[in-house]
Amino acid sequence: MLNRLTDEQYSQVYQWAIREKLIDQQDNSVIFFDFDILNNRLEHLRDTFPEHVQHAIAIKTCPLIQVLKHVLDHGYSLEAASFEELQIAQVAGAGSNHLVFDSPAKTRSEISQCSQQISGAIININTLDELERFPTDIKNPVGIRINPLVKADTVSLYNVSGMESKFGVPISRKEDIIQACLQYPFINGLHIHIGSQLKTLDANIKAIGSIIALADEIEQQTLRKVEFVDIGGGFPANYGKGKQESLDWYVNEIQSHYPDFFQRFKVITEYGRFVYAHTAWLVSHVEYLLKHEADATPIAIIHNGGDMFPREIYQPNPIRHQITVLEPDGNLKTAPSQPHHIGGPLCYGGDFLGKNYELPKIEMDDKLVVADIGANTFSLWSRHCSRSFPKVIGYSLQHQKIYCLKKREDIQDIIRFWGG
Ligand SMILES: Cc1ncc(COP(=O)(O)O)c(C=O)c1O
């Protein structure tokens, strides 16, 4: 399975973009998006799971329209966490039976529009209170998101399966869930998503077992079939140098614990990070190098901080992205390594992408490549200090194609955002 490029490849692709005149003086940072890695990840999903599993890729992780279009063109579906994401997906060409709608804050009007306009889309409810907002003759497949109350092996911010979670109906409310299935005959699915960047998958496997047991009881009491089970996302990306978690192992485990799972239900997945994390990387210009005392660790000021990396910067124990240093012309920097802090451009003290990075001695006008930014980085873009969202360059080494996938935001875009 493809992971990230080598340092030499970063240098080659960056210089390729320069030769193609895709980068200009105002591009103080550029995002590169790799379609070979995307294809490889998508194919891996399809090849590893049984053929009829529907993979709805989580839009929130990487909402670039051209990328959504690519995902759809290759036969995959999309998972929308908001009504706006549903609309973005439709602009990208999603037919209604390639959509899963999961927002925890669905309004009456959104539910009504879904039922009238995209009746093939799966809607997963987050709370039983949503049900009375549904028309009784709704055609959409409707699932209940269940909180299986397992201990997800991830940092607390990504864990959504504790009793204090705002997601899903706790499985301990089994009687209420069954009562809802009796009262609302249009419910025909169950949904779980226990958390993201899961270090181990055992809790997910256990959660699938609880869902199957719940489906048994629902079927016994309602005499109706639970048609689909959506097992959510959560499979991790590998930001370090070690091996990627094995999806084959995970799928085999599900099959050996629950041999008829994939035959009994239509199974849906909602992976985001696993698909996208390694597809994109950033090249950011070192605008200044600060060193106020002779023995201080130098601080490289680059053009992306908490605006592109809010989770890395605001959260304890953040993901640490690998960094590569290029010379101003894009050649790999080979100077001896020393510690550096990497500072962003925003106006608050904590705006550091990371501290104590051992890197070849950085100088002003070098370029820093930040790896693995395809998931949950630029998709969480913040307007703090009103900086422009960078240009995105798409490429495929395999097909020898490189082009501007999204232009850099200009000042008019920002003025419009702020109501100008
Ligand atoms: C309901 C739901 N599905 C899928 C995902 C995607 O998860 P991941 O990126 O960990 O695969 C998320 C992420 O937060 C989610 O909330």
Q: Are residues 270 and 360 in the same domain?
A: no
Mean pLDDT of 396-410: 98
What's at 243, amino acid-wise? K
- Please choose from 61, 147, 191, 230 the residue to mutate so as to test ligand 1's pocket, defined by most ligand atoms within 8 A of CB: 61
Give the mean model confidence (pLDDT) for residues 405-414: 98
327, 366 Cβ separation under 8 angstroms:
yes
- Taking phi over 0 as left and psi of -120 to 50 as alpha, with beta for the rest, 195 belongs to left
Query: What's the rounded Cα separation, in Å, for the pair 96 and 99?
Result: 6
Beta-ladder partners of 187: 142
In the reported structure, the alpha carbon of residue 272 is separated from the centroid of ligand 1 by a whole-number distance in angstroms of: 6
User: Residue 71: its pLDDT value, please?
Assistant: 98
Q: Is residue 1 part of a domain?
A: no
Q: Is 410 exposed, middle or buried (0-12, 13-18, 19+ CB in 10 A)?
A: exposed
| Tens-place pLDDT, residues 5-43 | 999 999 999 999 999 999 999 999 999 999 999 999 999
Task: Let me know whether 197 and 324 are in one domain.
Answer: no
Domain boundary residue, one of 220, 242, 276: 276
Q: How many domains does the chain have?
A: 2
Query: Which ligand 1 atom is nearest residue 234's CA?
Result: 10
Beta pairing, strands 122-125 & 142-147: parallel
Q: What is the mean pLDDT of residues 43-55?
A: 97
pLDDT at 130 over 70: yes
Residue at a domain's end among 250, 276, 302? 276
**Whole-number Å distance between alpha carbons of 348 and 384:** 10
Question: Residue of the nearest CA to atom 14 in ligand 1?
Answer: 196
**pLDDT band at 200, cuts 50/70/90?**
confident
pLDDT band of 198, cuts 50, 70, 90: confident
C-alpha distances out from residue 243 to 4, 239, 317, 322, Å: 12, 10, 21, 15
Tens of pLDDT, residues 251-281:
999 999 999 999 999 999 999 999 999 999 9
What Rg do the C-alpha atoms of the chain give, in angstroms? 23
333 secondary structure, DSSP code: P
CA–CA distance, 73 with 171 (Å, rounded to integer) = 37
| 11 lies in the same domain as 58 | no
Rounded Cα gap, residues 236 and 199, in angstroms: 7
**C-beta of 273 in contact with ligand 1 (< 6 A):** yes
Q: Is the CB of 233 under 6 A from ligand 1?
A: yes
Distance from residue 102's CA to the centre of ligand 1 (Å):
10
- For residues 169 and 162, what is the distance between their CA atoms, to the nearest angstrom? 11
Residue 297 lies in a domain: yes
The share of the chain scoring above pLDDT 90, in percent, equals 91
Q: Which domain holds residue 59?
A: 36-276
Model confidence at 155, in pLDDT bands (50, 70, 90)? confident
Whether 230 is in the pocket of ligand 1, judged by its Cβ within 6 Å, is no
CATH number at residue 246: 3.20.20.10
Confidence (pLDDT) at 199: 85
Is 161's pLDDT higher than 90? no
Phi and psi at residue 325, in whole multiples of 5°? Answer: -105, 130
Whether residues 106 and 240 share a domain: the answer is yes
Q: 228 and 151 share a domain?
A: yes
Asked whether residue 199 is assigned to any structural domain, the reply reads yes
Give exposure, 223-260, as e/b (b: 16+ Cβ within 10 Å): eeebbbbbbbbbbbbbbeeeebbebeebbeebeeebee
pLDDT category, 383, cuts 50, 70, 90?
A: very high
pLDDT digits (tens, 9 = 90+) for 337-369: 999 999 999 999 999 999 999 999 999 999 999
Top pLDDT among 374 and 202 is at 374
Give yes or no: residues 242 and 352 share one domain. no
Are residue 122 and residue 244 in the same domain, yes or no? yes
Among the residue ranges 51-60, 238-247, 297-306, the one predicted with the least confidence is 238-247
pLDDT attached to residue 418? 98
Model confidence pLDDT, tens digit, residues 314-330: 988 889 999 999 999 99
The pLDDT of residue 244 is 64
CB 26 within 8 A of CB 408: yes
> pLDDT band for position 301 (50/70/90)?
very high
Evaluate: CB of 271 within 6 angstroms of ligand 1: yes
Ligand 1 atom closest to the CA of 198, numbered from 1: 10
Q: Where are the beta strands (DSSP E) in 235-310?
A: 266-269, 280-285, 288-290, 299-301
Residue 243 has pLDDT above 80, yes or no: no
Mean pLDDT for the chain overall:
96
pLDDT digits (tens, 9 = 90+) for 173-191: 999 999 999 999 999 999 9
Residue 79 CA to residue 61 CA, distance in Å, equals 10
Please identify, by atom number, the ligand 1 atom nearest to the C-alpha of residue 191.
Answer: 1
pLDDT at 306 over 80: yes
The answer to whether residue 382 sits within a structural domain is yes
User: Is the pLDDT assigned to residue 405 strictly greater than 70?
Assistant: yes
Query: In 20-163, which residue ranges form alpha helices assigned H by DSSP?
Result: 35-48, 65-73, 83-91, 108-117
Residue 2 lies in a domain: no
The rounded Å distance from CA 270 to ligand 1 centre is 6
Q: Indicate whether residue 193 lines ligand 1 (CB < 6 A).
A: yes
Cα–Cα distance, 118 to 112 (Å, whole number) = 10
Per the confidence metrics, is the pTM higher than 0.85? yes
Stretch 201-216: mean pLDDT: 96
CATH of the domain at 385: 2.40.37.10
255 and 390: one domain?
Answer: no
Q: Do 300 and 184 sit in the same domain of this protein?
A: no
Assess whether 47 and 190 both reside in one domain.
yes
Task: Please indicate, yes or no, if residue 96 is contained in any of the structural domains.
Answer: yes
Round to whole Å and give the CA distance between 192 and 182: 20
Whether ligand 1 lies within 6 angstroms of the CB of 343 is answered as no
Same domain for 400 and 376? yes
Nearest to 219 by CA among 182, 254, 191: 182
295 with 245, same domain: the answer is no
- Residue 83 covered by a domain: yes
Pair 273, 237: CB distance under 8 Å: yes
Ligand 1 within 6 A of CB of 167: no
Question: Which among 253, 276, 299 is the end of a domain?
Answer: 276
